[in-house]
Amino acid sequence: MKSLDVLMPVEGMGLIGDLIGARLPVHRLWLEPNPDLWLAEWGPRIRAIAVAGHIRADEAYMRRFPSLEIISSFGVGYDHIDAKAAARLGIIVTNTPGVLDDEVADTALGLMLMAVRQLPQAERYLRAGLWPKGAYPLTPSLRGRTVGIVGLGRIGKAIATRVSGFGLDIVYHGRHAQTDVPYRYYPSLVEMAKASDILIIVAPGGPSTRHIVNAEVLEALGPEGVLINIARGSLVDEKALIGALRTGKILAAGLDVYENEPNVPAELIALPNAVLLPHVGSASVKTRQAMAECVAENILAWADGKPPLTPVPETPWQGRWGKDG
């Protein structure tokens, strides 16, 4: 194993630092009294970064570390890292796909059930002592609905498997049709929204997908439509969504992600037809531990001179990428 100085820029799961620190020197930037002064001295020595919390790693950020070889990121989404710039600089970027698919898919189905059947509202009704005064009003049903999945990747397929178990029809939208799935493909998101009763958003974040769910898509979804977002808040025009929920242009929404986390608009919180979770899609002890292990294992494999386990498509493993030391 070659020696790599590993930077953890922000505090995250302590397990990540523990696993890497058992074999490599780990520097926890948030503990430094003067981070800028520390980076000026240590930046040139850093060869690996473990991203266990939110940082914006653009090209300027990466250039602060001229010896950087690998960024190992916690989570399947990596829109906070400019992976194309990393490729130009010869830096590998890894994420944690696979280990969180089932957990996030479970959360999506939970949000769908809660939003359609008004389960959080019914619980609040009981807790407020209103049941003795009369039964909770009848709710909409899942029966007979078509579910449109935006982004049929690993998590999207896991959601589709679960939705099929509910006896619902499935259609999907993405960059291209997939020949190995039995679901109808819509090249137009607006047309799929017209054909769907429930939209589940699972596509990656980033500039290319920003606000792809806009007022036009919500209008197409219609007054009986339900929006579920477990991907990134940036995919949905939050102002348009608030307007659609407030005016009845759509029936309900179930959200785990927001445009400006952890700040959720007060207008959204006030809406009775919005089910809101604090970005907990993968937040179980078992899944987060597996994600932490994946972050560490990517860096440890790299230090051993082995290929990274889960490089992102923009920085594929092609032989001995990077700088040997």
- Domain CATH for 207: 3.40.50.720
Whether 317 is covered by a domain: the verdict is: no
Distances (CA, A) of 223 to 38, 179, 198, 233: 55, 32, 11, 22
Residue 69 shares a structural domain with residue 133: no
User: Three-state SS for 131?
Assistant: helix
Residue 86 shares a structural domain with residue 108: no
Residue 188 shares a structural domain with residue 296: no
**Banded pLDDT at 318 (limits 50, 70, 90):** low
Which structure tokens are listed for 248? 């009845």
Residue 114 shares a structural domain with residue 15: no
113 pLDDT more than 90: yes
Residue 42 Cα to chain centre, angstroms = 31
Q: How many residues does the chain have?
A: 325
Q: 282-309, pLDDT tens digit by residue?
A: 999 999 999 999 999 999 999 999 999 9
Whether 308 is covered by a domain: the verdict is: no
Residue 19 shares a structural domain with residue 124: no
Whether 217 is covered by a domain: the verdict is: yes
Residue 65 shares a structural domain with residue 133: no
Tell me the torsion sign for CA atoms 248, 253, 259, 263. Answer: positive
Residue 63 shares a structural domain with residue 131: no
Residue 95 shares a structural domain with residue 106: no
Q: 35-88, pLDDT tens digit by residue?
A: 999 999 999 999 999 997 678 999 999 999 999 999 999 999 999 999 999 999
Q: 230-288, pLDDT tens digit by residue?
A: 999 999 999 999 999 999 999 999 999 999 999 999 999 999 999 999 999 999 999 99
Q: What pLDDT was estimated at residue 323? A: 39
Q: For the chain, what is the domain count? A: 2
* Catalytic choice (162, 279, 293, 314): 279
Residue 163 shares a structural domain with residue 217: yes
Q: How does DSSP assign 213-240, residue by residue?
A: B-HHHHHHH-TT-EEEE-S-GGGB-HHH
Dist. CA 301–CA 29, nearest whole Å: 23
Judge whether 261 counts as a catalytic residue. yes
Q: 158-216, pLDDT tens digit by residue?
A: 999 999 999 999 999 999 999 999 999 999 999 999 999 999 999 999 999 999 999 99
Residue 94 shares a structural domain with residue 60: yes
Structural domain that includes position 151: 101-276
Whether 323 is covered by a domain: the verdict is: no
Whether 315 is covered by a domain: the verdict is: no
Which structure tokens are listed for 63? 């250039």
Whether 311 is covered by a domain: the verdict is: no
With contact defined as beta carbons under 8 Å apart, do 245 and 271 qualify? yes
Calculate the average pLDDT of the chain: 95
Q: What pLDDT was estimated at residue 231? A: 97
Residue 13 shares a structural domain with residue 38: yes
**Banded pLDDT at 1 (limits 50, 70, 90):** low
- What percent of the chain is predicted at pLDDT more than 90? 94
247 CB-contact burial (10 Å; exposed 0-12 / middle 13-18 / buried 19+): exposed
Judge whether 297 counts as a catalytic residue. no
Residue 268 shares a structural domain with residue 129: yes
* Catalytic choice (47, 145, 232, 288): 232
Judge whether 279 counts as a catalytic residue. yes
The angle at the Cα of 166, spanning 119 to 215, to the nearest 5 degrees, equals 65
With contact defined as beta carbons under 8 Å apart, do 301 and 308 qualify? yes
Whether 310 is covered by a domain: the verdict is: no
Whether 314 is covered by a domain: the verdict is: no
Give the residue from 276, 295, 314 where a domain finishes: 276
